[in-house]
């Protein structure tokens, strides 16, 4: 994934997400000609999340961490999933569609964090910049970099991430988690692009 996505591409991805939600279709509804005409940054593979906010509150958030699909396809799939398949919320109703604000996060590939003691993490992970993935056995979870805004305390961030992974909130202090980080290019319909 390129570290830079043009403003034109950002606008296009927000448009794709909005149209996907309106049409209630996750199928790739772009024509072959449209896909061929997309810029290189949109056709490159990239992980990404689509987050929906309604009245400033989370209304859906789904994504892929691994860069398995072209970015335009990742956005289409996850816009649909955030609106209609996030188990934490009822599917978006037709009346709500115009009330949600769409935010897109395009991720860099994750990098493993090598550490021997949890105290090293304070120097290895950069709040507000790094998204974090934790894994223990079959359990895993991630927080996007923007979650630091709601959980700015490092210990709270990691404890809540452990709870999201359905493991003990203090598990991160036991030095036996696999941890990866990534960064994200984040933009939304509120931005002036």
CATH for 147: 3.30.1490.150
pLDDT at residue 1, rounded to an integer: 44
List the domain range (segments joined by +) for residue 160.
111-182
CATH number at residue 55: 3.30.700.20
Task: Say what the alpha-carbon torsion angle 51, 159, 46, 21 is, to the nearest 10 degrees.
Answer: -20
Is 73 a member of any domain? yes
Q: What is the CA radius of gyration of the chain?
A: 17
Shared domain for 119 and 103, answered yes or no, is: no
- State pTM to two decimals: 0.90
Task: Please name every residue paired with 188 in a beta bridge, in sequence order, or none if there are none.
Answer: 103
Residue 2 lies in a domain: no
Summarize pLDDT for 79-89 with one digit per residue, the tens. Answer: 999 999 999 99
Same domain? 75 vs 167: no
In the sheet where 178-182 sits, what is the strand order? 111-112, 178-182, 131-136, 139-143
Which of 68, 86, 108 is at the close of a domain? 108
Could you tell me which residues are beta bridge partners of residue 47? 107
């Amino acid at each position: 994934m390129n570290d830079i996505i043009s403003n034109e591409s950002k606008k296009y991805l927000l448009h794709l997400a909005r149209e996907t939600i309106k049409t209630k279709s996750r199928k790739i509804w772009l024509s072959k000609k449209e896909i061929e005409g997309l810029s290189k940054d949109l056709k490159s593979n990239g992980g990404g999340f689509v987050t929906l906010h309604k009245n400033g509150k989370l209304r859906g958030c789904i994504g892929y961490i691994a860069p398995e699909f072209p970015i335009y396809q990742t956005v289409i799939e996850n816009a649909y999933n955030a609106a209609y398949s996030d188990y934490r919320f009822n599917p978006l109703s037709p009346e709500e569609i115009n009330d949600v604000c769409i935010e897109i996060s395009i991720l860099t590939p994750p990098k493993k964090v090598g550490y021997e003691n949890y105290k090293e993490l304070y120097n290895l992970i950069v709040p507000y910049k790094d998204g974090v993935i934790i894994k223990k056995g079959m359990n895993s979870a991630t927080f996007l970099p923007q979650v630091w805004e709601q959980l700015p305390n490092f210990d709270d961030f990691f404890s809540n991430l452990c709870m999201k992974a359905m493991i003990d909130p203090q598990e991160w202090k036991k030095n036996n988690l696999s941890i990866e980080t990534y960064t994200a290019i984040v933009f939304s319909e509120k931005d002036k692009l």
